[in-house]
Structure 1
């Protein structure tokens, strides 16, 4: 049985409400920081943390909205997210506050550190990596990508997984490949997964307003354009994330 709990911490003038998941048994454990999509921390990211804890990772699903979830309110979400991803110092401060909480957890292994980010949460973890946080592995799924400049990444030692859908209008395959080319020029280890037919936030299963699943692929509430659920690629993308983590900080990593 994994142990989970809510963790509260201060960042960006807000009280953040993250989700910590600890493995069973004794550490030290590799530590994974998870950044949620722009809509807010929800049960999908909490379950990612729980699943990682079941596999022997200490995981923190961060919060960067102060406990707010913007389901069905895309305009409010964008009003919060767009200024944030346009401010590198704010993103780094928010990510650093969450990372400090994760690394302060007993039995966290700072030498085996990785990050996973979805959407704007991918932007946050990328900024931490660019600022020098010594991640071994960084996985980002349909992230907001920074400018593709090799000089920004020459000192980064992480292995990167970049993933998006072929039909994502907000994080296109061309954008992902351009960023990958910058990593290549910086001699960074990287890989790209493009999921055929998938759109933005393809992992987000549609729900009714009461939170119950619709069982379909179309969202009944308002979203940003280009969002649709793809259950098969949701599983495939998660498998790719697990492969990266196992390789870089988990059971397949080499010290």
Structure 2
């Protein structure tokens, strides 16, 4: 099936959008939004076109456009954790946009974005840990000054301050580890549920396609048998009709010769 001009332009623009999304965006962010908007309009026109592609190709096109839209919406979130979670639910395309790609560009963009969001989330956690350490040092200085003002010896003040600092540090570490474990458990649960839903939908689609294929095969087999029987019947009727016609002609000629012998 020939590819229409509209589909060629759509593929070119889609490849350009995937290329921009794979790069570090900044000033080009607004341009990507414009391109994705144009992609949506071209996809709607492509679905209404008389020379539209196969349904599975349209589904993949729609999947890639939705992935780019979700990518832009995730980039607008303020928290790196929210960005990472939103990127987990994005579904990239399954087939390459252009023939020269070994791996779909949307999958590559998805992996790059997840890695970048994970790095931002790690940096945010590290920054939080550093700020908490600074706060502990400030608190430690305040305690030392308070003990000094009360006339406590220097060695005892240092020991008490170090013990308090160690206990507080371990307490903070335990709280942070508990929060991280809860967050990871929630993310794992959400990802597992999302994967189960996707697999379930794919299995349902595959089962439905197999049922349709079996029904079409049975219908084709029945129609082939009927056509074969009809062909045999038509050939038999034509043969008998020709035989009857020949016999009738032969008998008619004999009767004509017997009844009108003088005409010979």
Fold match (TM-score > 0.5): no
Q: Which has the higher helix share?
A: 2
Normalising by structure 2, we get a TM-score of 0.26
Structure possessing the higher radius of gyration over alpha carbons: 2
User: Higher relative contact order by CA 8 Å / sep ≥ 6: 1 or 2?
Assistant: 1
